[in-house]
Chain A
Amino acid sequence: MVFLLAIVTGILTTAGVYMILRRSFVRVILGLAFIGHAANLLIFTVGRITEGKAAFVTEGLSSITEPFADPLPQALILTAIVIGFGVQAFLIVLFKQNYKSIGSDDLDDMNTTDKLGQ
């Protein structure tokens, strides 16, 4: 399972980097999303996956018995997903506004900031 997740994380990262390096707006957004998901999967994998053992104390016992699934990485990922979702929504609107003002979806056409003050 860990091996499989590691492969998927690697593929997502590769695809993300490739997409970010493209010049089209949409691909950059997708690339950032891919890399974000790769990071989430990585936390999930690094947090040691335990199948079918929720972190509950069994009735009659006073403490939890090993092994159990660590709930903290999942909480971290949830936080990261929520933040990532908000940021991506903002990104899409931002790129759309840019598309309106530049009239193309090529990142190379974004050179107004460099020409300012010349």
Chain B
Amino acid sequence: MMKVLAILPVLIPFFAAILTLFFGKRIFAQRVIFSVSSGLVLLVSFFLLEHAFNTGIFSFQAGGWDAPFGISFVVDKLSAIMIAISGLMAFASSFYAFATIDKEREKFGFYTLLSTLFMGINGSFLTGDIFNLYVWFEVMLMSSFVLIALGGTKPQLEGAVKYVTLNLISSTFFLIAVGILYGMAGTLNMADLAVKIPAHPEGWLTTTVALLFLIAFGIKSAVFPLFFWLPASYHTPPAVVSAVFAGMLTKVGVYAMIRVFTLIFSNNPEITHSVILVIAGFTMLVGVLGAAAQNDIRRILSFHIVSQIGYMIMGLGLNSPIAVAGAVFYIIHHIIVKTNLFLIGGVIKEIRGTYSLEKLGGVYKAYPLLGLLFLIPALSLAGIPPLSGFWAKFSLVKAGLESEAWFITALSLFVSILTLYSMMKIWNEVFWKDTPPEFDVTDRYSEFSVSKKVLLIAPAVGLAIVTIVIGFYTAPFFDAASSSASELLNKTGYIESVLRLK
């Protein structure tokens, strides 16, 4: 039974993608299929969470070949958490997509691509084989390439070129690193690698490969100095596409980084984890400074993704149980909040027809509740108590102080002030100031049908509620993050489960 459940987060989107193809031009059926399938993934993820937290790590071998020869699928606490969030994001964004995506895109296979995208994302979270991880990355990337270019407007095509080129280079680095790793250890199974790589006689080679992986996942998760593709492309596609990308895609890179650097390359932290920590500091600072110079809602938010990635890998770089717990909690918090901010940005665009801070204004006067809805994720992103972002930053700062990493801790606090500045900039320009008289403002909200209004606002409200719940009822979420962190740092459980040593 558990075997079936563990593979379902991959199979459900796969069959949804095939089914949507059968309904070519019938958009309503495609919408229902995508929405139901993402709801099902969310449902399955609860069973996975229940199993991961109550029974322990579950692993099985696809095709029946025992590890390390077969391809392993592993459900540990971190995978289960990530699957749950990915299900939630797919479910929330599906409603938003119904309201905002135009008919042409829907007829051109929008839901098929979104399904295969989530298939790739879920596969990356579940696999226990490093080459299989590469394949899932490619599944995810291929769908995202088409999704970002779908529609073919000029900015989209140009954004797609930047996105595609740099991600292909990252895939090549990944492939090279996997090849060398196989040459060193003769295995691709991550649990088997976790046994063989730390025991490898040539330590310098291990470090080299570790840094190659850092470059590969660093480009994918947009860390300094490899992030330039992100703010050049994420503001071009339709709002729901950039919301899903902003929430999920870079976090798959961070997940892969956490997985590889806790499981396989954890024996030489003086080099690898110090490099990660330095990168984390630069990523935080450069991202937030980049955001301060922007004048477009989505570009500001894109630069903030970069900045926030810095916090997550700061947790990884500090490499203590509480720091990794902070990183995991930060991922949970960030995916929800960031997707929500992009969705709300999209709502503003739907109403006023622009993302430009210059041309917007007076939104709070016209829609006070929308202003409130924006403030919840915005303040959470900046880390204002008692919202979820505060606890995420609190645990990272605590970890930094415990590890006596004074500089990065001070930097992280300084960056959160700048984050607040950026959020207040959006608030002042979009919501608070008067509508600029020189620009012709057409307010389209009253023209929307009731169903469109509901579909537009409901996902944002739902995600805002989740943010508040995590903020006020932190304990179970933080316990989950810290127990998954201790599972990550104590890798024997993972190895024993996959290799059937018990």
Contact = CB atoms under 8 A, between A and B. Distances in A.
Interface of A: 20, 28, 32, 35-36, 39-40, 42-43, 46-48, 70, 72-73, 76, 79-80, 83, 86-87, 90-91, 94-95, 97-98, 101-102, 107, 110-114, 116-118
A117 B142 contact: no
B336 to A, nearest CB: 25
Contact of B175 (A28, A39, A48, A94): A39
Given A113-B233, A113-B235, A94 B179 contact: no
A28 B298 CA distance: 28
A79 B294 contact: no
Contacts of A91: 164, 168
B154 interface: yes
Interface of B: 131, 135, 138, 142, 145-146, 149, 152, 154-155, 157-162, 164-165, 168-169, 172, 175-176, 178-180, 182-183, 186, 188, 232-233, 235-236, 294-299, 355-357
Contact of A94 (B131, B164, B180): B164
B236 A47 contact: no
Contact of A73 (B161, B179, B295): B179
Contacts of B160: 94
**B interface: dominant SS:** helix
Contacts of A70: 186
B232 A113 contact: yes
Contact of B182 (A20, A39, A72, A113): A72
A117 B299 contact: yes
Contacts of A42: 176, 179-180
A87 B168 contact: yes
B165 A28 contact: yes
A80 B177 CA distance: 13
Contacts of B235: 113, 116-117
Given A90-B164, A97-B149, A110-B161, 9 more contacts: A43-B182, A47-B183, A48-B183, A76-B182, A94-B160, A112-B155, A113-B158, A116-B155, A117-B299
Nearest to B300: A117
16 contacts: A20-B169, A36-B168, A36-B172, A42-B179, A76-B178, A76-B182, A87-B145, A97-B157, A110-B161, A112-B155, A112-B158, A113-B235, A113-B236, A116-B235, A116-B236, A117-B356
Nearest to B179: A43
B145 to A, nearest CB: 6
Contacts of B131: 76, 79
B180 A87 contact: no
Contacts of A80: 175
Contacts of B158: 98, 102, 110-113
A76 B149 contact: no
Contacts of A73: 179, 182
8 tightest Cβ-Cβ pairs between the two chains A and B = A117-B296, A46-B183, A43-B179, A39-B175, A110-B158, A101-B154, A83-B138, A117-B356
Contacts of A94: 145, 149, 157, 160-161, 164
Name, among B138, B168, B186, B236, the residue most crowded by chain A CB atoms within 10 Å (CB to CB): B168
Contacts of B135: 79, 83
Contact of A117 (B138, B159, B162, B295): B295
A38 to B, nearest CB: 8
Contact of B165 (A32, A36, A72, A111): A32
B272 to A, nearest CB: 21
A113 B149 CA distance: 13
A102 B235 CA distance: 19
A35 B169 contact: yes
Contacts of A117: 235, 294-299, 355-357
Given A95-B161, A114-B232, A47 B182 contact: yes
A35 B173 CA distance: 9
Nearest to B138: A83
A113 B179 contact: no
B168 A98 contact: no
Nearest to B156: A113
B152 A97 contact: yes
Nearest to A41: B179
Contacts of B183: 46-48
Contacts of A48: 183
A79 B172 CA distance: 13
Given A90-B145, A98-B157, A101-B157, A47 B179 contact: yes
A40 B131 CA distance: 13
B117 to A, nearest CB: 15
A80 B182 CA distance: 15
A40 B171 CA distance: 12
Contacts of A35: 169, 172
Contact of B180 (A46, A76, A83, A98): A46
A98 B161 contact: yes
Given A20-B169, A72-B182, A73-B182, A112 B154 contact: yes
A90 B159 CA distance: 15
